[in-house]
């Protein structure tokens, strides 16, 4: 179960990154609220998963899902330029 919780936490990391972009610098209410809610939920679920999983493993998986997921959403959904940089 901790692995499932960790995967959900990582998925929420991608959600908040996407909605942060959509919030236009926190000037739009709905995307801003979704961003903050997803941030809190993501960290809380990470903490729950870390009750059973080692810190390094849990944090690495969580940030990895967030980084790769945010990159993929940026390129696929937002049409951002794919480059080596």
Residue 7: pLDDT band by 50, 70, 90 thresholds? Answer: very high
pLDDT mean across residues, the chain: 96
- Summarised one tens digit per residue, pLDDT across range 61-84 is 999 999 999 999 999 999 999 888
Residue 71 is predicted with a pLDDT of: 95
Percent of the chain residues past pLDDT 70, beyond the cut: 99
Rounded to whole angstroms, how far apart are CA atoms 29 and 4? 30
Rounded to whole angstroms, how far apart are CA atoms 64 and 43? 14
């Amino acid at each position: 179960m901790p692995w499932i919780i960790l995967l959900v936490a990582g998925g929420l990391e991608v959600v908040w990154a996407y909605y942060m972009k959509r919030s236009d610098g926190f000037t739009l209410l709905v995307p801003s609220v979704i961003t903050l809610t997803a941030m809190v939920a993501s960290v809380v679920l990470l903490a729950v998963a870390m009750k059973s999983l080692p810190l390094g493993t849990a944090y690495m998986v969580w940030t990895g899902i967030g980084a790769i997921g945010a990159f993929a959403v940026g390129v696929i959904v937002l049409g951002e330029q794919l480059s080596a940089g």
